[in-house]
Structure 1
């Protein structure tokens, strides 16, 4: 979307650590793809528009607190392992994913966000 079409915000831009930018940007891209997959459903239009605005915010380096808080839950869900590892290499990958989840949660908490309602909490 062209910058003139983007929603302007008076919220302060949030600085995202470089190693989290790729994941959060990819999450915004995935949100757009998911929305477009269902583009003919009447209730998906707002989700597609919101995802495009998140991508615009990344491209303009103007991601706001609200933008970051909208992306963090999806980023955590996307990166979390599905199965327990059965190799030492798998354990290291699992721990790395947990470290990333911890960092995303800490970022959410610093931004004043709240965790989602528990569904199957360990």
Structure 2
């Protein structure tokens, strides 16, 4: 029988819903609301793995044949994040070297040259 309690190493609070299993097997489960776990195994030796989101994984060789009880304290994992810059306004679109922007600018400049009302050959029907 493998049983024990999983806690946070800093706060000493129990860690519910922590994954507890024997490596390379389907034996194991999750801790309850109080951080407790227990399961049966008939292996003479196994590697116990305990993992939770935001904590470093705990790995230990155990001998379950000797009814084992564990008190495990998981340490919080630390992550290095990249710098984030928050600006009050969004960056303006850069027009330089963009052929689409130049094309639309020329269309706007010459819109009156091609107005349908200014051309006598232009004809339209109303539906």
Task: Output the TM-score relative to the length of structure 1.
Answer: 0.18
> Which structure has the larger Rg?
2
Higher helix fraction (1 or 2): 1
Higher strand fraction (1 or 2): 2
